[in-house]
Each structure stands twice: as structure tokens, then as C-alpha cells.
Amino acid sequence: MRQILLLLTAMLLSCCSANSELMAEVTSDSGKTLVVYYSYTGNCREIVNTLTSQIQADVLEIQPAEKGLKYEANGYALGTELLNAIKAHPSDASSYPAIDPVTTSPSNYQNIIIVTPLWWSQMAAIMQTYLFNYGPQMAGKHVGLIVSSHSSGISGVIRDAERLLPDVTWMGDALWINASSHARRATLVADWLETLEFAKEQTLNKMHITIDGQTQSVTLTPNVATKALVEKLQQSPITMTLASSGGFEIWGALGFSLPTSNQQTTAQPGDVVLYNGSNICLFYGSNSWSYTRLGKIDGLTESELRTFLKAGESHINVTLSLTAGTTAIDGQTQRKADEEKYYTLNGQHADNPTKGVFIMNGKKVIL
């Protein structure tokens, strides 16, 4: 009898452990997101920090195997040489600069977002190596692309991505962030995410605040107050006038009441709270009081918050909404537009070039 019981227990245990392995496999593959980036001078890293303050994702940084190289030295000679080698033999693995070994496998993810710099109107060589090596593991995955350049358009980078990842499902249009829009990356990323099917679930917990034409996303705290607020915003955006107070917030009447769950709270810069059930406070500093948390403004530093919230002013028009305008770049339109543009060797757009060496459609042109 004892032996039969032991046998039954062993069978039960092995059956449970097989099931839990199966569960782990299923959950690890159901909608997880990986952000893969390369950054030489730090801009793509900042974009990734902004992106991951808005969505749940694992992050993988690609590093060149050879450290300390100056890709921009001697008129960008090394960067150009690496790209030319790839261009000459794009199917040959030895054309691609070596990268450090990568342990995270893209096959464990359903969604992959690639964040890459533009080099000479093409995808930075280091990221091309990663996609050449690991692209096959992304077949059938949903892939998004964010490109950072000084000013050049990104159609060449989109072409490289399509060549290196022929079997993926693109999430939507690529997002272009250049030197003049880099400071507005939180809004650009939030707007771009809204256009993507995969992020819809993740962005349901967002609202937007617009002040003087600038829009920032807010991650909402899940509670009865935000549930009621979202229901209001589903009917229409809400506009109100707020005023600076105490050197730490702008605040004022919402024009209606929300259900409260007040708690003694030390609000921090970026926090959005409900005060006395019918007032909203947006913090650029800190204060302790009994509030109901509504959420947090995404991705702004304390000084960026002061500027965005117009700290110190007394009549600040603020609009709350569930959607923000769309600014993502359409690959086809972008392609046509920037194929005809000239850029200087520093990547600056040249309006009416007359004499000198320029880049057009990714090629050097002497006028």
C-alpha cells in the first residue's frame, strides 16, 4: 500500500512539474517586449530610457567587440569604411564588424523594438551586425524601429532594416528622432506607441497633458479616481486653468469631483494628484499632504517639468486627454522626400547647395 502511495505521489509531482514548465513557456512567450539598441554618443540610450519609462520591456545593449574606436575621426573615415564593407558584400558575415556576444535571445519575445543611430544615411554598422546575426531568430515577430540622426532622413535605415529582417511583421511606421526633436522625445515616443497595435494594452493606462502646444504622457495609477477620470476623458478632453503655488506645484479646480482614496503622501516632481476630491495638482517640486494619487508625468527631469508646467505663472491653460497628435514618419513618404535632399558631411541639411562635398541619398556628391 505504501509503495502504491509513493508511486501515485511521484506521478502527481512529475505531472505538476511538466505543467508548470509548460506554463512558464507559454507566459514567457505571450507578448513580452525586447528593446535592442546601440548607441555611440548616448542619444539612442536616452531614447531607450524614455521608451522604457512608457512600456514594460527588457533591454539589450549591443556593443562593438573592438573598444575605444573613433568612428568620427578623420572625417568619419572608419564609420564610412565599415558601412562600405557591408554595402560591398551584404550577404557575407565577414563584412560586418564584430560585436560582443549576446546572451538574450530574441526568440523569447513577441515584440522587438530596435533603436539605432543613422550613419551616413544608413543603419549604424554595429546594429547591422546584430541584425545580420540574430535577424533570423526574429522571423514572424512584431518589430518596431526608432532611428536617431542629427538631421538626415531615415529612408536608408528603413531599407537596411527591411533587407536584414525580411521575415518580420513591422509594427507600423518607423519613428525618426533628430537633433532638433530629441528634447521632445517623450511626446514623440508616446504618440508613436499610440499608433502601434501591440502597445494599445500598455497605453490604456495613459492620459496626456497639453500645455501651450506641448504634450506629455502621464502613467495613471490604477484606482477609483483614475477610472472615473478616464470615463470623463472618453467623452471629451477637459481644459482648466491652473496656477503655481508654494514653489512646488501648479494646481486648480477640475470643474467636477472624483471619488477619493486620500492618503498622507509625499508628492515628488512629476506626480499628478487629486486634492480635496475636485482639484488637480501637478508637481515640479515636493510636498506632503493627504492626496489621492492620479499618476506620474512620464520621462521629464525636474527642470524640464518646471518648463513644461510653466512654474511660477498664475494662469496656465491645461488640457487633459486620452490621445495625443501623431507624428510618426511614414516610410514611403519619408523615402521620397529625403532621397532628394543634400546633407553636409556633418549631417546638416543643405537647402540650396552650390559648391563642395555633400551627401545625397546616402552617397557622396561633389558639386
Ligand X SMILES: Cc1cc2nc3c(=O)[nH]c(=O)nc-3n(C[C@H](O)[C@H](O)[C@H](O)COP(=O)(O)O)c2cc1C
Candidate list 63, 69, 72, 159; residue touching ligand X; CB under 6 A: 72
The residue among 129 and 149 lying less far from ligand X, judged by its C-beta, is 149
| Residue number of the CB atom closest to ligand X | 79
- Inter-residue contact 291 to 274 (CB < 8 Å): yes
Instruction: Please count the other Cβ atoms lying within 10 Å of the Cβ belonging to residue 289.
Output: 15
> Least distance to ligand X from the beta carbon of 244, Å?
35
- Residue 275: strand, helix, or coil: strand
| CA-atom Rg of the chain in angstroms | 25
User: For ligand X, which residue of 218, 250, 281, 359 counts as binding (CB under 6 A)?
Assistant: 359
Nearer to ligand X, 131 or 305 (CB): 131
Under the binding rule (CB under 6 A), the answer on residue 76 touching ligand X is yes
* Nearest to 115, CA basis, from 199, 37, 196, 34: 37
Under the binding rule (CB under 6 A), the answer on residue 181 touching ligand X is no
Residue 68 binds ligand X (CB under 6 A): no
Beta bridge partners of 240: 318
* Shortest CB 39 distance to ligand X, Å: 3
Determine which residue in the list 20, 41, 278, 333 makes contact with ligand X, applying CB under 6 A. 41
Near ligand X by CB under 6 A, which window of 35-43, 184-192, 234-242, 268-276?
35-43
Count of CB atoms situated within 10 Å of the CB of 133:
16
Which of 150, 159, 163, 335 touches ligand X (CB under 6 A)? Answer: 150
List the strands of the sheet with 363-366, edge to edge: 349-350, 342-343, 357-360, 363-366
Of the two residues 71 and 284, which places its CB atom closer to ligand X in the complex? Answer: 71
Residue in 5, 42, 180, 234 binding ligand X, rule: CB under 6 A: 42
Is 342 a residue that touches ligand X (CB under 6 A)? Answer: no
Examine residue 97 and tell whether it contacts ligand X (CB under 6 A).
Answer: no
Judge residue 277's burial from the number of C-beta atoms within 10 Å of its C-beta, 0-12 exposed, 13-18 middle, 19 or more buried: middle
74 binds ligand X (CB under 6 A): no
Question: What dihedral do alpha carbons 193, 194, 198, 204 form, nearest 10°?
Answer: 110
Whether the CB-CB separation of 193 and 208 falls below 8 Å is answered with no
List for the chain the helix, strand, coil content (%; round to 5).
Answer: 35, 30, 35
DSSP code per residue over 255-272: SS------EEEEE-TTEE
Q: Which three three-digit cell numbers place residue 170?
A: 513591422
- Decide if residue 50 touches ligand X (CB under 6 A): no
Residue 154: CB minimum distance to ligand X, A: 9
Rule CB under 6 A: choose which of 40, 170, 289, 342 binds ligand X.
Answer: 40
Residue 347 touching ligand X (CB under 6 A): yes
Name the burial class of residue 136, with classes exposed (0-12), middle (13-18) and buried (19+) by CB atoms within 10 angstroms of its CB.
middle
User: Is 184 near ligand X (CB under 6 A)?
Assistant: no
C-alpha distances in Å from residue 171, one per residue of 10, 64, 137, 199, 206: 46, 27, 17, 10, 20
Binding segment for ligand X among 105-113, 143-151, 159-167, 325-333 (CB under 6 A)?
Answer: 143-151
3-class state of residue 273 by DSSP? strand
Q: Should residue 44 be labelled a site residue for ligand X when binding is judged by CB under 6 A?
A: yes
Of 33, 95, 149, 219, which lies in the binding site for ligand X, with binding defined by CB under 6 A? 149
Q: Which stretch in 95-103, 119-127, 135-143, 274-282 sits in contact with ligand X by CB under 6 A?
A: 119-127
Asked if 339 touches ligand X (CB under 6 A), the answer is no
| 252 backbone dihedrals φ, ψ, rounded to 5° | 170, -175
Go through the chain and tell me how many residues it has: 367
Q: Does 79 interact with ligand X (rule: CB under 6 A)?
A: yes
| 117 touches ligand X (CB under 6 A) | yes
In the complex, least distance from residue 132 CB atom to ligand X, rounded to whole angstroms: 18
Residues near ligand X (CB under 6 A) = 39-44, 71-72, 76, 79, 117-121, 148-152, 343, 347, 359
